[in-house]
Structure formats: C-alpha cells, structure tokens
Amino acid sequence: MTRTSPVYHVEMRDAQIQRCDWAKGELNIAYHDEEWGVPSHDDRHLFELLILEGAQAGLSWSTILNKRAGYRRAFDKFDAHRVARYDARKVKRLLANPGIVRNRLKIAAAIQNAKAFLAVQKEFGSFDAYIWQFVGKRPMQNARRALREVPAKTAESDAMSKDLAKRGFKFVGSTICYAFMQATGMVNDHVVGCFRWEELRKAARTQLPARRRSTTG
C-alpha cells in the first residue's frame, strides 16, 4: 500500500510544519518524521520492515504501527535466525497473540521469509547488499506533488518482487515491495511540500546520515 498523499499544515513548536497527509496521530507522525523514507542499510531493520509490510496487506498501516512493539516481542526483535527456527508450537502461540496480526498465512510467510532472508545473506554477504541493487545502490529521488502522482508499483518494485518470489519469499507482491522501498528510503516519496522531502534530498546529496533518531530499538 502506498501511503504518500498531499501535505497538510500542523502547528508544532510555534512553527508551521508541512507533512505528508497520511502523517496523522502520534505514531504516524513519529514514523513519518524519523523513519519513513530514510535510507536503511541495517539488515535487522530491513527484515523487520519486510515482515511488517507483508503483515500490513489488506490492513491499514496505523494498525501495524500500533502492533509494532507487539511484533518485536513476539518475533524475537526480528532476529531472522530465531524466526527461521519457529516450530508448530511457536506458531500456535503466535496465533493466540493479540499483539500481532493473527493470520496463519502471514505468520507462515514470516517464518519462510526468515529462511529465505538468511539464504540471501549467505549468498550476498548481507541482505542490504542484495536489496539495494534494485535501485542501483542509491536512493531514487522523486518529486511527487499529489497522491495521484504516486504509483502503486514501479518497474523496480516489479523486478524486486519477481526476484524475491523466485528466492522463496512470500507476501512480496510488487505493491508490497514498493511500500517497502518507500519505507526503507530506497525511494524518497515524501511529497515536494513536505519538510522531509528536501531534508532527505539534501542528505542524499551530501551522503550524510539522514535518520534523525533511531526508532528501531
């Protein structure tokens, strides 16, 4: 699901701040300001967002953000080695856990994706080295002015989806892959009027860290 839309104005510390329209509510605003669109090269963080984007399918992103702490507890802080070893008893406990989306297919996909993730790490040295190939290892800088300009998927997300599926990953359709690309900063899809759009463009030009504060804890 693509979550970019026109900006709106918010009073914040006596200043007018423009944000993407979906950034409403405390969790969404924090996620928008500190994490969404920031280039990520940390394998555990990439694995976390890959699983969360798959879990989000058919639901709102706000639902996933509200359950994010529960997911981190339930999935061993997204340690792929541990998740890959989950057995039937662990699945049963997950299906009874109200802190996550209790969908058998999504839980099974998370376990399978952990196994495929580890195989990619073994082949490429890191998942980061593999996944960033789909954008030439540099963030794509878009200049969207309105929601109608934002595609649900792109040629890059199509290629990523096809290759991930070939490697055994589940819940990695092109739309999910594009949302993952937006979340991990592979593309800058903040709209032009949003204050984060220019911050991330500037960070990409100077090759300085763009993350304001870690939210992956």
What is residue 203's three-state secondary structure? helix
The answer to whether the CB of 35 falls within 8 A of the CB of 182 is: no
Q: What is the mean pLDDT of residues 65-84?
A: 98
Tokens of 165: 């599926």
The answer to whether the CB of 186 falls within 8 A of the CB of 140 is: yes
**Pairwise CA distance, residues 98 & 109, whole Å:** 18
Say what the pTM is.
Answer: 0.88
**Pairwise CA distance, residues 113 & 10, whole Å:** 39
Q: What is the mean pLDDT of residues 137-163?
A: 93
Render the burial of 151-160: b for 16+ CB within 10 Å, e for the rest. eebbebbeeb
Catalytic residue among 35, 36, 48, 61: 61
Tokens of 86: 């989950």
In this model, does residue 209 exceed pLDDT 70?
A: no
Residue 89: what are its φ and ψ, rounded to 5°? -65, -40
Domain boundaries, the chain: 7-206
pLDDT at 16: 76
| 132 counts as catalytic | no
Catalytic residue among 31, 71, 86, 132: 31
**Pairwise CA distance, residues 17 & 107, whole Å:** 38
Give CA angle at 88 (83, 90), nearest 5°. Answer: 50
In this model, does residue 114 exceed pLDDT 60?
A: yes
**Pairwise CA distance, residues 132 & 69, whole Å:** 26
- pLDDT tier at 61, thresholds 50, 70, 90: very high
Q: What is the mean pLDDT of residues 94-100?
A: 98
pLDDT at 207: 65
In this model, does residue 146 exceed pLDDT 90?
A: no
| pLDDT, mean over the chain | 90
**Pairwise CA distance, residues 97 & 64, whole Å:** 14
Q: Which CATH architecture has domain 7-206?
A: Orthogonal Bundle (1.10)
| 35 counts as catalytic | no
Whole-angstrom CA distances from 21 to 24, 197, 200 are 7, 13, 18
pLDDT at 8: 38
Q: What is the mean pLDDT of residues 70-96?
A: 98
Catalytic residue among 35, 48, 53, 156: 53
| 53 counts as catalytic | yes
pLDDT at 11: 39
Percent of the chain predicted with pLDDT > 70: 88
In this model, does residue 214 exceed pLDDT 90?
A: no
- pLDDT tier at 205, thresholds 50, 70, 90: confident
Q: What is the mean pLDDT of residues 167-195?
A: 97
The three-state (H, E, C) secondary structure of 75-126, written as one string: CHHHCHHHHCCCCHHHHHHHHCCCCCCCCHHHHHHHHHHHHHHHHHHHHHCC
pLDDT at 149: 87
